[in-house]
Amino acid sequence: MRTANTSSGFHRAAVSLMALALAACSSLPDIESHRPSPIVAGLGDTALAQIVARSTPEASQQLTGLRLLPNGVQAFDARIALARHAQRTLELQTYVLAPDTAGRQLLRELRDAAARGVRVRLLLDDLHSADAEALLAGLAAHDNVEVRLFNPLPVRGAAPLTRLALSPAQFEQLHRRMHNKLFIADGHVAISGGRNIGDEYFMQAHASNFVDMDLLTTGAALPMLSQVFERYWHSEHAVPLAQLRTLAADGGAARERFDVGLRGTPAPAGATPHDVLGYTPVSTQLDEGQLALLFADVQVLADAPEKVALPVTLDDSALGHGLRRLGEARSEVVIVSPYFIPGVRGMAMIREATRNNVRVTLLTNSMAATDEPMVHRAYSRYRQAMLDLGVNIHELSPGLSRKAGILGDFRSSDGRLHAKVAVADRRWVLMGSMNMDGRSALANTELGLLIDSPALALELRSLLERAHASSTYRLRQAPGGIEWISRDGQSEVVQREEPGADWSQRLKLSLMSMLISEELL
């Protein structure tokens, strides 16, 4: 989800129109320059450092250790376990931190870590911070904790749409957001990928849950990931919460309100004994003192924080660097993107790939699964042309994914795709926070890893093949249009009308598409 239940194309169009109509103008308070955070010594002596050392063979000392986290419950277990094992530092960077069960559970772990003497730094994009701001202020009142908000909006304490609409003078800058996700413990273990912090990313929501993907990382990439965090943390766009919100002079009262806000939050659910790839939970492996890792050469791809203020081109972006590697594929490219808008340049790349006999496979959301109907509408304009070029298109079915259970235990909820992954030539893996669309390329800041690992590529392709067979619609050309093919046991089910799109929704999308540019989606 891009903007936590509030930023469909309909909403973005409404924001644009409201911003043009409003005469009101707000501004930020004068922002003081903040001091650099001091360096924390002794990271090499922590328990996590020792576990990483034991888990890394001599021959892999110059490589990066990697483990996929495809299941939401295991991905949350990994974060909780790292917070509990940390002894010196915890650095968190995220787009959304919701004040729901998962969010409060993680905030509690951060408080407890700080009480043990761990330095906690939390960097959160400001757009969706309002609902959690009281809890964030309470956390910031604890010793060893600092909270900063990235690219803050002048209007505080309101819904994202209202905040954007009441900031028309800054609209061009403020609709650019920090979309990165990064979690680093003691400078030796990191988690990056697509997941924000909220129930729906960790299979805790009731209505719908996201199919997502993270990577646990150790070794050679960690200094580069730490540098990314430091660059954002010390950016002029990262503003201490205390400069944006009047914090209570009585820290004890703020801490008490924080504790009251967490009251009734249950303990995190234990992870299942094995994930879909057969791995035991990260918490179990940390307790046993050994992580199961694959090792590979990794390149960290990160946009500069200044991207929210300065125009960039696709070639200069983190996504652009990753696409260059995909463009060099010789046999096969598999793309997983919940919000996929290829545009003119993307279609040219696809056309060139298929002309060179490269097999291209796409997995994205169906209309029934998407939380961004305007984005899906834009993507749908390219479907027929991609099928004409021989692209294999799969769209996630919310009902089939729930029934199959391959991508997680959805219980009674529907499945929605949120993972951002690409695999080229069964060797190169691109994974991170970036979607295959214009917003990731030109507006939002993103973070990803480009990995040279046939073993990791094999794990991903195996998982995707199981998902394609059980949890998706396969699209094919038909006289007069497109058919959506799924399986019910041994039988093939053919639908000639797009699943999840009734006539009224199609009409609404058609009208709204006249008001909003594809580049804003």
Residue 76: which CATH number?
3.30.870.10
List the catalytic residue out of 234, 425, 452, 508.
425
Domain that holds residue 251: 64-288
List the catalytic residue out of 186, 199, 214, 303.
186
Strands 332-336 and 421-424: antiparallel
3-state secondary structure at position 510: helix
Last residue of a domain, one of 288, 313, 335: 288
Active site residue 418: yes
Contacts (Cβ under 8 Å, ≥6 apart) of 507: none
Q: What is the pLDDT along the chain (521 residues), one digit of tens a residue?
A: 554 343 444 444 444 444 444 434 556 666 666 667 877 877 899 999 999 999 999 999 999 999 999 999 999 999 999 999 999 999 999 999 999 999 999 999 999 999 999 999 999 999 999 999 999 999 999 999 999 999 998 777 777 777 767 776 666 777 899 999 999 999 999 999 999 999 999 999 999 999 999 999 999 999 999 999 999 999 999 999 988 876 656 788 889 999 999 999 999 998 999 999 999 999 999 999 999 999 999 999 999 999 999 888 999 999 999 999 999 999 999 999 999 999 999 999 999 999 999 999 999 999 999 998 889 999 999 999 999 999 999 999 988 888 777 787 888 788 999 999 999 999 999 999 999 999 999 999 999 999 999 999 999 999 999 988 889 999 999 998 999 999 877 789 999 999 987 756 665 656 555 556 566 55
Active site residue 186: yes
Measured distance CA(406)–CA(471) in Å, rounded: 8
List the catalytic residue out of 85, 142, 175, 181.
181
* Number of domains into which the chain is organized: 2
Alpha helices (runs of H) in 24-179, residue ranges in sequence order:
47-55, 72-85, 101-115, 133-140, 160-165, 171-174
Q: Are residues 259 and 315 in the same domain?
A: no
In a domain, 46, yes or no: no
On whether the CB atoms of residues 206 and 445 are closer than 8 A, the answer is: no
In a domain, 262, yes or no: yes
Q: Nearest-CA neighbor of 220 among 291, 321, 298?
A: 298
pLDDT at 520: 57
In a domain, 253, yes or no: yes
Q: Are residues 323 and 273 in the same domain?
A: no
Task: Please report where in the chains the tokens 């639908």 appear, as a residue.
Answer: 495
List the catalytic residue out of 85, 179, 307, 376.
179
Tally of CB atoms within 10 A around 36: 8
Q: Are residues 270 and 313 in the same domain?
A: no
pLDDT at 517: 59
List the catalytic residue out of 128, 175, 188, 418.
418
Last residue of a domain, one of 237, 256, 288: 288
pLDDT at 3: 46
